[in-house]
Chain A
């Protein structure tokens, strides 16, 4: 960043974990003046009070439309804010939309200075999405295991099978019907509910 002062950055994000991950990444890269806003009620007032150079907002946040009001010429606005995106930047727009984040810069802030911030933002958002994804998959794997255990129990009781035999039956049925073993187990659970 050379002799230039570290830009003031606002992160607008409902997710405190993602915001913390991003803030940490920015801090490591030398951006120290970073504020996270999660309260949407007085969003504009808080942004004006902090007077940032850059605003980062997640795309799942409906308050993105509120930010757009800042570009309007109005007495309430001290410094007009310009959207970072312009025609020459199709690739970075695509990358940030894919990652689920959008960036705004205040007029007068040099555009090339936003690049490293946005790149960092995109990589942290992607890292967070990957984590979230892994968590979701772990959760659903755990759920599936529970369902299979219960289905095995039902088969053992109704058909007098051992645990291994019950599992083999589930697996061979799944293969024959080209379904996941969890789906077969779930349908056994549903059927046994109905037949109660």
Chain B
């Protein structure tokens, strides 16, 4: 008899491992009868997971952490036994803002430090001329997109709370908002950056893999008490998504994976656009200029699927840096403990390994991240933290 499961997801490419696990039959092979439920907002996914309408969900890693800590919402302990991928977001700017940044940039325009400093000069010039502050769109207050944008611009001297406006926009509204000037730039996951480029309304400035080498993005989120009551089911789900991640990582399967994801009841955008994302070859300018990075989105390679507690610690540090949470050693422990490499190792039959085996988050600026000294780490940054 197979186990019925309801799993929520948002139509984004990084739900791929979950969608492929179901539509390729990997979940069925593990004895799971999964119904995927497409949702329109992260708030809905979180709430439906919290109250048990979903057994598991495709969830922003910081939302899972916030839920476990009771930040901004009801406290429901969550576990993340599987990373649905690392990285995968990009920063896209309007053609006008791109031109302004390029005219100010000193050095390599693909170097995030150079662009962040250029942005700082653009911001200063706008202030002098009395122009409105630039507006950046991101997907959720507790999101990697929010932290990645903030980390990048703050490295160049732009205070994200003082010098620009950051606004939450649902991903499907991003492209329209850029086109009609409601925002000047955004940070979002695939496929929306590519959609903006294809429509000629946006230029991809950075892949977030240039800002952080290994950023936990979406996790497979499960309520902790449900996970403890259903260990076999959780292990089966980990194996099914793991197999799907390896399937997607194989270049030979990309066309098929893109076709599966493109279905209207899944992501519902053109398979070609999805395939570009899967291969890390993105058109970054409307004139057809392509950039390629193997690190653009990591799924099924380089240990991307293993939820490393250091990644959760970095995300928690960002919550502290930007005033969403006060620092507490207990909260840090809770955040790190909800990433469960032990469940992952056991499910796929690997010998138990130390918590973090794949190294640091690899940020482009600031000191090396030290989960053991978050106050010291944050004190090294000129912007953020002290204000809160």
Contacts and interface: CB of A to CB of B under 8 A. Distances in A.
B172 interface: yes
B182 A102 contact: no
21 contacts: A40-B173, A41-B177, A60-B40, A64-B40, A64-B41, A64-B44, A65-B168, A66-B167, A66-B169, A68-B42, A68-B168, A72-B72, A72-B324, A73-B323, A83-B73, A85-B73, A90-B51, A93-B47, A97-B51, A102-B43, A102-B47
Contact of A61 (B40, B47, B51, B53): B40
B250 interface: no
Interface of B: 40-44, 47-48, 51, 53, 72-75, 139-141, 161, 165, 167-170, 172-173, 177, 182, 323-324
A66 B174 CA distance: 12
A118 to B, nearest CB: 14
Please classify how large the interface on chain A is, using the bins under 10, 10 to 19, 20 to 34, 35 or more. 20 to 34
Interface in A62-97: 62-69, 71-76, 83, 85-87, 90, 93-94, 97
Given A75-B161, A83-B74, A68 B43 contact: yes
A180 B74 CA distance: 47
A189 interface: no
A90 B50 CA distance: 10
Summarize B's interface: helix, strand, loop or mixed.
loop
B51 A93 contact: yes
B173 to A, nearest CB: 7
Given A59-B41, A65-B170, 14 more contacts: A41-B182, A62-B41, A65-B140, A66-B168, A68-B42, A69-B167, A73-B324, A83-B72, A83-B73, A87-B74, A93-B51, A97-B47, A97-B51, A102-B43
Nearest to B162: A75
A125 to B, nearest CB: 15
Contacts of A97: 47-48, 51, 53
Contacts of A66: 167-170
Contacts of A59: 40-41, 44
A7 B72 CA distance: 23
A66 B141 CA distance: 9
A85 B47 contact: yes
B47 A63 contact: no
A75 to B, nearest CB: 7
A91 B352 CA distance: 41
Closest 3 CB pairs of A and B: A62-B170, A69-B168, A64-B41
Given A71-B72, A97-B48, A65 B139 contact: yes
A44 to B, nearest CB: 8
A169 B323 CA distance: 73
Contact of A86 (B44, B74, B172): B74
Contacts of B170: 62-63, 65-66
Given A41-B182, A74-B161, A83-B74, A68 B140 contact: yes
Nearest to A93: B51
A64 B43 contact: yes
A94 B47 CA distance: 10
Contacts of A94: 51
A83 B73 CA distance: 7
A102 B48 CA distance: 12
Contacts of B323: 73
B167 A62 contact: no
Contacts of A102: 43, 47
A74 B166 CA distance: 10
Contacts of B173: 40, 62
Contacts of B41: 59, 61-65
B291 to A, nearest CB: 29
Nearest to A86: B74
Contacts of A93: 47, 51
Contacts of A68: 42-43, 72, 140-141, 168
A41 B180 CA distance: 10
Given A71-B141, A85-B47, A97-B53, A62 B172 contact: yes
A63 B43 CA distance: 10
A62 B53 CA distance: 19
A143 B118 CA distance: 61
Given A72-B141, A73-B323, A102-B47, A62 B40 contact: yes
B363 to A, nearest CB: 23
Interface string A82-117: 010111001001100100001000000000000000
A62 B11 CA distance: 12
